[in-house]
Structure 1
C-alpha cells in the first residue's frame, strides 16, 4: 500500500468540518450605535477570533456587512471635537476635518477608519478589509443578501422616543406624588353654577413622566 493511498484513506476517515472552516456572513445594524463598538465587533469577526481554529498567522476570518452607517451616533460633542488627519506626503499636504465634515462627505468613512484601526498591523489587514462590506443605508445587493447567515445584536440598546411609549407604559411608571387638581366653583347671578377645572397639575405631571421615561431609557447609554 502506497503512502499516498494511506493518506487519502486517512483524510476520508476524518469527520467533515466544512462548516468550521467556511466563511460566514454576519450582519450588523449601525443605527444609533457608537462607531467604536461597531468596529470592535467587526474586528473580532474579520480576524476569526470567535472560532476555535483561530491562529494569528492564519486567515480564517468571516465576512461582515454593516448597514445604516449614515445613522451612527457619537456621545457628547464628539461630532465637532473628534478630528481626522491625513497627509499626502507632499509639502502643504496636511489636512484635518472634523467627524461631522467627514461624515457628510462619506457616511461610510468613520466606520471604515474605526475598523481599520482595530485590526492588527500586518499583511493580513488589507485582506481582512476586503471582507468588510459597508452600506450607508439598509439597502443591500441581492448577492450579499443571499449570503447572510446571522445578524449580530446591537451593542447598545436604542432608547425609545417619547412618542413610542404606550399609554399602559406611562401609567405603569411609578408615581412620585398624586398630581394636584385645582378646582374653582364660580356662582353667577343666574341660577347656573359653572365648575372650571384647571389641569396645570396634570400637565406638570405628564412632563415629569416624560422626563423620567427618557432618563430611564438612557440608563444603558454608554460608549
Structure 2
C-alpha cells in the first residue's frame, strides 16, 4: 500500500466557530492547533496545509489554572538594545485578550512557513460577535470537556 499524499486540489476547508468561555488555555489551544493543521481529518498530510479555518469568540473569558494568573509573564523585544518588554498575564488579558490565545496556539504549530500560513487561518475575537457569518461556520465543541 502506498503512502497517501494530499493534493492541493483535494483539500476541502471548513469554517468552525469555537467558544472560549471557561476553557483552560493550554488544553483549548491544543484543540485549535489540531483543527488548523487538519489532524482531525483522515487525509492529514504533515507537509501540507490541509486544515480548517477557526473563529474563536469570547477569548476574554478564557481560564488558566493555578497561580499562573499572578505569575505568568509575556516577553517581547523591540529590537533595540535594552528593549525587552515584560507584560503580566492580567494586563495582557485586559488590553489584548486575543494575543494570549494566539501566542499559545503559535507555540503549538510548526516554526516555518507552514506554521505561519496555518496561523493566518485563525481568527480571534474578544466578544461574542464575529464578521464571518457569510462563511456559514459550524459550531465546534472541545473534545476534552
The TM-score with structure 1 as length reference comes to 0.58
Structure of greater Rg: 1
The TM-score with structure 2 as length reference comes to 0.86
Distance 2:130 2:75 in 1: 30
- State the partner residue of 2:41: 51
Asked if the contact 1:68–1:135 (Cα under 8 Å) also holds between the matched residues in 2, the reply is yes
Q: 5+ residue gaps in structure 1?
A: 1-19, 158-223
- State the partner residue of 2:115: 125
CA spacing shift, 1:156–1:54, aligned 2, 3 Å:
closer
- For the pair 1:99 / 2:101, whether they are aligned, the reply is no
Distance 1:28 1:79 in 2: 23
Aligned ranges 1:1-223 → 2 under 5 Å: 21-141=11-131, 144-154=132-142, 157=145
Three-state SS of the structure 2 residue aligned to 1:118 is coil
Asked if the contact 2:29–2:101 (Cα under 8 Å) also holds between the matched residues in 1, the reply is yes
Runs of 4+ residues deviating >4 angstroms = none
Distance 2:41 2:58 in 1: 27
Alpha-carbon offset, residue 156 of structure 1: 6.1
Distance 2:144 2:93 in 1: 21
RCO higher in structure (CA 8 A, sep ≥6): 2
Asked if the contact 2:31–2:142 (Cα under 8 Å) also holds between the matched residues in 1, the reply is no
Q: CA RMSD in A?
A: 1.5
